[in-house]
Amino acid sequence: MYAKHLILVKTLGKWYKSVDGRPGFTTEAFDALKFKATQTNLPIHCCIVFDEMKIETKVEKTYGYVDYGGSVDSDCREKCTDALVFLVVPLHAIELCFEAGLVVKAVTFDGCPVNIAMAKKLGCDLNPNNLKTVFKVQNNEIAIFLDPAHMTKLVRNSFEHYREFKDAEGNNIKWNHIEMLHQLQEDEKFHAANKLRSKHLFF
C-alpha cells in the first residue's frame, strides 16, 4: 500500500531496480529503518536473525565472484554458491542498527561452525561449564540464541547417526527403540498418542 492505494507490480519492480543489490549492507534498508525510528518516541527493540541461502552459480559481472562487501577486497576467483541474508551478524550490522535508532536485543542463528566461531569472537562461550550468552556493543547487552528448530534437527541427525545416546544417569537411549515403536504402530494399525510417522525416521 502507498498513500492508501495498491501499487502495480511493474511499479514495484522499477522501485527496486534503484536499490543497490551488491554484496554488503543495503543503505536503503537502513535509511528506511532510520525513518521508521523517527516516527515514534518509543524505543524500537529488535532481534537480528540471519541465515545463508543458496544462490544460482553463474557469473554475469565481477560481483559474481566471492565478495565480502564493504571495503574488504578479495582476489578469490571462486564462484559464489551461498548468500548470507540478514533479516531486520557481523558486529558492523549491529552498529548500523543502533545508528538507525534501533535497540538490538538479540541475535539468532543456526548451529553451523562459522556461526559458533563468530559467537566466540564476540565474547560468548557456549561451554555449559562456563556459559556466557551475551556480549556488549556500545554498552548495550545483546543475547545470542541458537535457532531451536535447527538445533533440534541437529540432535535428531546425530541421534540417527550414532544410534545411541546416554542420559544424565548413564542409561542408554537407543534410536532402535524409536524404530521398533514405529514398526509396532504400523503393524497394529494404531498410534499410541504420539506423532511418530515414517517421515520422522526416513528423512
User: What is the reported pLDDT for 55?
Assistant: 66
Say if CB 166 and CB 172 are below 8 A apart. Answer: yes
Q: What percent of the chain has pLDDT over 70?
A: 75
| Region at 139 (left for phi over 0; alpha for psi -120 to 50; beta for the rest) | left
Which of the two residues, 98 and 167, has the higher pLDDT score? 167
- Measured distance CA(116)–CA(110) in Å, rounded: 9
Summary mean pLDDT of the chain: 80
- Measured distance CA(198)–CA(17) in Å, rounded: 46
Q: pLDDT category, 131, cuts 50, 70, 90?
A: very high
- pTM for this prediction: 0.58
How far apart are the two ends of the chain, measured CA to CA in Å?
A: 41
Least confident of 58-67, 74-83, 113-122: 58-67
pLDDT in tens, 169-202: 999 999 999 999 999 999 998 888 888 999 988 8
Average pLDDT on 123-144 reads: 91
User: What is the reported pLDDT for 87?
Assistant: 46
Is residue 64's pLDDT more than 60? no
Which residue has cell 556493543?
A: 137
Domain assignments of the chain as residue spans, ordered by start: 25-147, 163-200
User: What is the reported pLDDT for 60?
Assistant: 59
pLDDT in tens, 92-128: 677 788 888 888 889 999 888 888 888 998 899 999 9
Is residue 86's pLDDT more than 70? no
Which residues, 6+ apart, have CB-to-CB distance to 102 below 8 Å? 33, 37, 44, 45, 46, 88
